[in-house]
Structure 1
Amino acid sequence: MKYLDEFQDPGLARRLLDEIRATVTRPWALMEVCGGQTHTIIRHGIDQLLPDNVELIHGPGCPVCVTPLEVIDKALEIAARPDVIFCSFGDMLRVPGSDRDLFQVRSRGGDVRVVYSPLDALKIAQQNPHRQVVFFGIGFETTAPPNAMTVHQARKLGIPNFSLLVSHVRVPPAIEAIMQSPSCRVQAFLAAGHVCSVMGIREYPELAERFRVPIVVTGFEPLDILEGIRRTVRQLERGEHTVDNAYPRAVRPEGNPAAQAMLADVFEVTDRAWRGIGTIPASGWRLSERYRDYDAEYRFSVEGLTTREPAACRSGEVLQGLLKPHECEAFGTTCTPRTPLGATMVSSEGACAAYYLYRRLGTPPTPQEASPVA
């Protein structure tokens, strides 16, 4: 790749769309797994350019969105402690807990800091040896290796005042849970290319065969998405269900062995709750026994918290692909990025945020919008 424009060429996009239209003979429902792919689709109007009988269902591929409410509340409880410096990426600060968010904790005196790498948090721990420093480690297989490496470094360097609040989840078990749902309409998947760049594709053939669904590994630029859709629709029309790597410039079948080795050393697979979905077996990681002293949940004993989801928030249905964001009664009215009811409106990869930013479908006009222009 020389230039980003190579993957946003309108002429090539038209040719891919023509091929898709020429291939499709009946209705198909495809799920893009990653929230980054959802934002590309909505921002560029790809779903509106496709034939009417090709539907894109937005999957639960936003790590901020699927972080369960109980973990958010644990983060808030830890961050409010006077001896703690709580470090997080910026998109977690406005995610609502049961009764507050990290911004509110900070406004009330909590030492909450935005960092750009878990290693930044480790450096803060070195600079503040008399305070506890906690990094909020969330995400899929893409962000898990650097978080694992940071814990490994903390142990190697003997930094005892650093810990990790872990909420890492894994994509393949989520695909399995989606396909086993009685309300599932998904007939194929666009798999997240950055996840596969770490983990490879070895877990996907068994899922494709068992559920008889094509799984196409796809990138994040408009032409990546269209090429992924083209390959997926071609398989569906032929009655095939294989794993196809449409992102070879970033994904090798074996993934990244060094990253996988770090994950195997620091983490162990565990059941994990997904916000709006529930607990999915073997769908996450936690720190292994060897690194248990660096587990913030263990260190701060944050158990037994009572959580309360807003009754008006329907983000769970959005995350399961049962509801488009603009079909929610609260969308764009009582739920906005500044006053979010759920994480899907806050996150930079959330489906609700994508619709709010790029396509305010079904939203009543503001008074300024409704007024005639003089």
Structure 2
Amino acid sequence: MKFASEFRNPKAAQAVLARISEVADAIGATAENPVSIMEICGGHTHAIFRYGLDKLVHEGVEFIHGPGCPVCVLPMARVDECVEIAEREGVIFTTFGDAMRVPGTLKSLMQAKAGGADIRMVYSPLDALELARRNPEREVVFFGLGFETTTPSTALSIQQAAREGLKNFSVFCNHITVPEPIRALLQDPHMMLDGFIGPGHVSMVIGTHPYDFIAQEYSRPIVVAGFEPLDLLQSVLMVLEQIRDGRAQVENQYARVVPAQGNPVSLAAIADVYERRPSFEWRGLGEIDASGLRIRAKYAAFDAEEKFSVGYAAGPRHVPEPEGCSCGAVMTGRIKPTACAQFGRGCTPDTPLGALMVSSEGACAAYWQYRGARGAEAAE
């Protein structure tokens, strides 16, 4: 608890909550006409429910859960392609544990593993790199998944594999970027968002300037936030104060961790290894221009898409959502998880229809974990 307790101080939280109520009243926010603030990061969503912040803030403040869970926004076709690679003879397929139970069209990676595929959970792409060194007769594939937070470690691993001249290591690249889907949401005329709580971990890598367009082009405030209760409450207050003052700026509540210019070493590795895809499919959002990364030609030997002719190398493939599944609507903030007819019924952690129920950052998983199977009160 050292260095964390100060950000969980109840008296300090009460003081910030009182200020939130004052500002919310000043701008006329009510339960019938709330200020809608989207937290982009799935880690923020879970923190909000873990600490009950949605119940503590003024009734005129509504949290909208955004597409900030990289496992959740992965289209089902990409899960199918992971299974296809993993089930090939001689392949060791490695992945973060969060992706193991995400359902594909026919099966998840966990089910493929149970069926005999050599699929191993790792904590880092460096673990996959070590497996490739120890198993030179096998093809070791790492499932490169995540926002800008995890992209640098994958890039550094590819650079290391190139230096060593490893022939049996490759990455199935599904890395994606945060700013582009925010732009897509802001261009949606049905999305009524008054402000944003920006992702903390992503911003450690990219800094705060990639969000400038939110304020400059769309006149919405955004505050990059940490993950403790006081971080999030202070960020809500900062968004409300901008609205009260008629401002739209990028502010950095998490300055103790997030530098405005980002991490230059990480950004250099990303720029060296990756380039933008023309477009990439997001579950619930469809194809978004320049929102995905692919491995540059100079590192093509480590590109699993090219090596196995899957993914965009084989041509885009769309798989429709399972019947009755509302993952797309939940992920884009159009509805709350409990508004999905399958929540707690046809879709549970044991029998998931979509990734939001099984990912550690999924909104449905947060509702289930902290509000129970039905979570009826969370839908209010």
Q: Which bracket does the TM-score occupy, shorter chain normalised?
A: over 0.9
Residue deviations 1:21-46, cap 9 Å, x none?
01113231100000000000011110
Give the structure 1 partner of residue 208 of structure 2: 201
Whole-Å Cα distance in 1 between the matches of residues 283 and 237 of structure 2?
31
Check conservation: 1:93, 1:102, Cα contact below 8 A.
yes
Superposed displacement of residue 277, structure 1: 1.2
Whichever residue aligns with residue 297 of structure 1, its letter is E
Residue deviations 1:242-295, cap 9 Å, x none?
010100110111110010000000000122111121111111211011111211
Give the structure 2 partner of residue 18 of structure 1: 18
Check conservation: 1:87, 1:114, Cα contact below 8 A.
yes
Structure 2 residue ranges without an equivalent (≥5):
none
Q: Which among 66, 81, 84 is matched to residue 88 of structure 2?
A: 81
Whole-Å Cα distance in 2 between the matches of residues 237 and 308 of structure 1?
42
Check conservation: 1:140, 1:195, Cα contact below 8 A.
yes
Residue deviations 1:62-103, cap 9 Å, x none?
011011212111101000112100000111110000110011
Whichever residue aligns with residue 14 of structure 2, its letter is R
Residue deviations 1:167-195, cap 9 Å, x none?
11111111100100121111101000111
Give the structure 2 partner of residue 177 of structure 1: 184
Moved more, 247-256 or 271-280: 271-280
Q: Which among 299, 302, 306 is matched to residue 307 of structure 2?
A: 299
Give the structure 1 partner of residue 365 of structure 2: 353
Moved more, 15-24 or 3-12: 3-12
Q: Is residue 211 from structure 1 mapped to residue 218 from structure 2 by the alignment?
A: yes
In the superposition, relative to structure 1, how do residues 306 and 249 fare at CA in structure 2: closer, same or farther (>3 Å)?
A: closer
Give the structure 1 partner of residue 295 of structure 2: 287
Whole-Å Cα distance in 2 between the matches of residues 350 and 190 of structure 1?
17
Whichever residue aligns with residue 272 of structure 1, its letter is F
Whole-Å Cα distance in 2 between the matches of residues 363 and 29 of structure 1?
21
SS at match of 2:197: strand
Whole-Å Cα distance in 1 between the matches of residues 235 and 375 of structure 2?
31
Q: Is residue 5 from structure 1 mapped to residue 5 from structure 2 by the alignment?
A: yes
Superposed displacement of residue 317, structure 1: 0.2
Q: Normalising by structure 2, what TM-score?
A: 0.93
Superposed displacement of residue 308, structure 1: 4.3
Q: Which among 285, 298, 309 is matched to residue 277 of structure 1?
A: 285
Q: Which among 45, 49, 56 is matched to residue 49 of structure 1?
A: 56
**In percent, how many aligned pairs have the same letter?**
48
Check conservation: 2:200, 2:254, Cα contact below 8 A.
yes
Whichever residue aligns with residue 235 of structure 1, its letter is Q
In the superposition, relative to structure 1, how do residues 339 and 362 fare at CA in structure 2: closer, same or farther (>3 Å)?
A: closer
SS at match of 2:48: helix
Whole-Å Cα distance in 2 between the matches of residues 260 and 54 of structure 1?
35
Q: Is residue 163 from structure 1 mapped to residue 163 from structure 2 by the alignment?
A: no
Q: Which among 28, 49, 58 is matched to residue 65 of structure 2?
A: 58
Give the structure 2 partner of residue 253 of structure 1: 260
The number of aligned residues is 364
Instruction: Give the aligned CA root-mean-square deviation in angstroms.
Output: 1.4
Q: Is residue 262 from structure 1 mapped to residue 269 from structure 2 by the alignment?
A: yes
Superposed displacement of residue 3, structure 1: 2.1
Residue deviations 1:200-256, cap 9 Å, x none?
111212221110000101011111100100100100111110010100110111110
Superposed displacement of residue 306, structure 1: 6.5
Whichever residue aligns with residue 327 of structure 2, its letter is S
Check conservation: 2:69, 2:361, Cα contact below 8 A.
yes
Whole-Å Cα distance in 1 between the matches of residues 284 and 80 of structure 2?
15
Q: Is residue 328 from structure 1 mapped to residue 335 from structure 2 by the alignment?
A: no
Residue deviations 1:94-130, cap 9 Å, x none?
0000110011111111000011110000000011111
Whichever residue aligns with residue 12 of structure 1, its letter is A
Whole-Å Cα distance in 2 between the matches of residues 296 and 60 of structure 1?
26
Whole-Å Cα distance in 1 between the matches of residues 287 and 319 of structure 2?
15
Check conservation: 2:368, 2:375, Cα contact below 8 A.
no
Q: Is residue 112 from structure 1 mapped to residue 124 from structure 2 by the alignment?
A: no
Give the structure 2 partner of residue 128 of structure 1: 135
Give the structure 2 partner of residue 369 of structure 1: none
Superposed displacement of residue 307, structure 1: 2.9
